[in-house]
Amino acid sequence: MKNSLPVGRVSGVPLRIHWTVPLLVFLFGYGLAGGTLPAWLPGRSTTAYTVAGLVGALLLLLSLLAHESAHAVAARRKGIPVHSVTLWALGGMTEMEKPAAPGAAFLVAVSGPLTSLIAGGAALGAGAGLSAGPGWQLPAAVLVWLGWANLLLGVFNLLPAAPLDGGRVVQAVMWWRTGDRERAERTAGRSGQILGILLIVLGWLLFLRGAWSGLWLALIGFFVMIAAKAELQQTSLTSALRGLRAADAMSSPVETAHDWITVQRFIDDPAIDARHSALPLLDFDGSPSGVLQLSQLTRIPVPQRETLRLRDVATPLSQCTTCAPGDLLEEALKQLRPPGGLPILVLDGRHLTGIITAHDIVRLTQRRRLRRNGAG
């Protein structure tokens, strides 16, 4: 979701649009105008089909937004922080903190599919009512298509596999019955991997039989499988890092650079010996001012390297992820969001005491797992 643009707010939550959304509108608009509507209502003009197809695709996009907004509203009512809602080619994604109780998790999960089912029923009812009037057959057909699309969206999302909403529902119920959140998350994640594989196989078989829609189904299955695997990894990581502090994971002392030196001077001297791909920068007072990604330097034109200073091309401290040495590592990792992300700067007041990189986290996780296995 990195390639998403902020376009406003919905229900008080930042709304982002992924670059694949125009592709979604085109595909559904083209399919509706070029195939579905001419088959249902032959004899209309190409312009009428095109306009109706575009309207239908945009209405479907609004339906996806309503689905994700329902998740966001339900979460905020339960006191769960919601960071953003993103629309993309395969639907939508609501980024939020984990619910603290199974009841809240259940309500947040079920709100989206319920909204889609209600929207689908309303669209079908409106389409049936319009079809009775003369001259309204084409708008009625668009509404009927929209209704069935929303019903399909609601039912599909209720399949019992993470990251689908149905997987969240099963996860919440299992969490409530067993009291073991991690076990519930692992079960939902494994079911998501199985569902993803089944969708890929089914989509490929449909494609071999001549149905191009099979490729879309296989793509959805691939996303479900990858997302489920990521959630399993996240659950495993959370378990391994529970109770650890930032000081347990950080590397210290920290290799730094002065933010006032030019890019060319840095390239000629310190950059060659840098051990990390990201370096904290210090100002004249010795306080951290940002993080320099070495990969950014290669994109700076050679003539500008003599005048640009490191602070001009670095991520400022206000956008970096920071924590104190005594903060729980799990809580620090929850703060990771673009553009800051990793590394995490460990600060004692305004003094830089350590840095946490992905390598540090992997090393700490592996060490703790080895100790657990050895104790077992």
Q: Which residues are catalytic?
A: 68
- Report the distance separating Cα 196 and Cα 175, nearest Å: 23
Amino acid at 80: I
- Report the distance separating Cα 93 and Cα 71, nearest Å: 9
Q: Which residues contact 365 (CB under 8 A, 6 or more apart)?
A: 237, 240, 241
CB 201 within 8 A of CB 71: no
For 346-358, the DSSP string reads EEETTEEEEEE-H
For 164-179, the DSSP string reads SHHHHHHHHHHHHHHS
Q: Which two tokens stand for residue 323?
A: 């924590």
For 146-215, the DSSP string reads HHHHHHHHHHHHTSSSTTSHHHHHHHHHHHHHHS-HHHHHHHHHHHHHHHHHHHHHHHHHHHHTT-THHH
Cis peptide before 343 (omega within 30 of 0): yes
- Report the distance separating Cα 345 and Cα 317, nearest Å: 9
- Report the distance separating Cα 16 and Cα 5, nearest Å: 5
Chain-centroid distance of CA 246 in Å reads 25
Nearest to 138 by CA among 248, 31, 32, 268: 32
